[in-house]
Amino acid sequence: MLVSRIGFTTHYFSENVNFSYDGRTTALKGVSFKVPKNSSVALVGESGSGKSTILRLLYRFYDLEEGQGRILIDGKDIRYVPLLFGRRIHF
C-alpha cells in the first residue's frame, strides 16, 4: 500500500469529483474531501485507487470539465486559479 503525505497551506475542498483520463475508464468516482488550511493529509490506497490522479488534478495537469465535480482552493474553483500559483503549492 502506498502512502502520500501532503502539507497544505491553503484550504482545499473537493465536491463529488468524477474523472476519466480516456473517457472510458473511471479514475475517480464521486470523490469528496475537505482539507483545512495548515493541515497534513495522507492519501492511502491500493495501486490504481486514484492517489496520483488527485495530485494531478490539484497540480492542474488535468482540469475537470463541467459536470465532473469541482475542486476549490480557498473557496475558488481551481480552474480559475492561475496555473503558476497552483504549481507552487507545496505538497
| Number of structural domains in the chain | 1
Cα–Cα distance measured from residue 82 to residue 67, given in angstroms and rounded to the nearest whole number: 21
> Is the predicted pLDDT of residue 91 greater than 50, yes or no?
no
The pLDDT score that the predictor gives to residue 31 is 93
User: Hey, what long-range contacts does 21-29 have (CB within 8 A, 24 or more apart)?
Assistant: 21/53, 21/62, 27/53, 28/53, 28/54, 28/57
Q: What is the pLDDT of residues 48-60, one digit of tens each?
A: 999 999 989 988 8
Q: What's at 28, amino acid-wise?
A: L
Q: Which residue range is the domain that position 78 belongs to?
A: 2-87
The pLDDT score that the predictor gives to residue 49 is 92
Q: Look up the pTM and report it.
A: 0.78
The pLDDT score that the predictor gives to residue 2 is 42
> Is the predicted pLDDT of residue 88 greater than 90, yes or no?
no
- Whichever domain contains 71, its CATH number is 3.40.50.300
The cell numbers describing 41, all together, are 493529509
Q: Say how far residue 42 (Cα) sits from the centre of its chain.
A: 13
Q: What percent of the chain has pLDDT over 70?
A: 80
